[in-house]
Amino acid sequence: MLVTMKEILGDAKEKKYAVGAFNVPNLESIQAVISAAEELGVPVIIQHAEVHENLISMQEIGPIMLDYAKRASVPVCVHLDHGASFDLCVQAIRLGFTSVMYDASAKSYEENFEETKEMVKIAHAAGVSVEAELGHIFTSAVGGGEGRGAVGADDFESLEDCYTDPDTAKAFVEGTDVDALAISFGTTHGVYLTEPKLDLNRITEIKNKIDIPFVMHGGSGVSDEDFKTSIQNGITKINYYTYSSMAGGNKVREFINAAGDEKVFFHDIIAAGKEAMKENVKAAMKVFASSILD
């Protein structure tokens, strides 16, 4: 069932759970994520990231994502993740995506505000939800996938310079009318090289200013306990990709090593990797939606 992000996150906000948002740069990823969501009976967001245009274009993968979403037995939002290009966001809307993230967080606050406000006007006119980002999400040197290189706390004079400011977030949301806001509180895109230092109270501080769905980027590698606390504090969408992709890759390596000198068929490799991704995604979903699954 194809739905908007606003619909999915509205229910999650009300019932205090989070919807997993998974990047799906190939058919097997789509199948793994949708199958996991259907088995658990939970809503899900499947995403195409602009940075994955080098793997497959949105024009190619988008229609497949939409087809699987429409035929799914659970609510599915089809979302453009980290759309830094205004044109790509518009293309996603025209393709039938039900949500876009316009990411101008690397620009000045004024540019981010004005450009996001314009994107919201365009998207809302088409019935499409919009996510934006304030603050700076750290990016590891391994599997960060943001196309900006590694970015950590040492790149800023203080953590306050990269974490989302509650008052600024309030002004941004009220002025742009975005449906969801990705906030920075210490998570990292890619593989965690050191234990993350999360400011989980900052989520609550922002929520006390504006009561809209908040998004955690860099969800891979966060402990189950921190996930659950983040959700209780106001996170309703969690982006998760790196560790599920690694699970598939590790399973493929294990499969090939176990085969030894035996013949290895490509379709068997794909099946093994897909099943491992599915199980990893299911485990994450059980944490994100524990309040409605318990």
- Span 231-242, pLDDT tens digits: 999 999 999 999
Write down the architecture of domain 5-293 according to CATH: Alpha-Beta Barrel (3.20)
* Positions marked catalytic: 81
Q: Residue 44 carries which DSSP code? A: E
Q: Which residues of the chain have pLDDT under 50?
A: 139-153, 155-158, 190-193
Helix (H) or strand (E) holding 130: strand 129-134
What φ, ψ does residue 56 adopt, rounded to 5°? -160, 140
Helix (H) or strand (E) holding 78: strand 76-83
Closest residue by Cα to residue 138 from 180, 101, 184, 183? 184
Residue 195 burial by Cβ neighbours in a 10 Å radius (0-12, 13-18, 19+): exposed
Q: Are strands 99-102 and 129-134 parallel, antiparallel or unpaired?
A: parallel
Extract the annotated binding site: 82, 103, 133, 189-190, 217-220, 239-242
In angstroms, rounded to a whole number, what is the distance separating the alpha carbons of residues 226 and 198? Answer: 8
| CA-atom Rg of the chain in angstroms | 18
Extract the annotated binding site for Zn(2+): 82, 103, 133, 189, 217
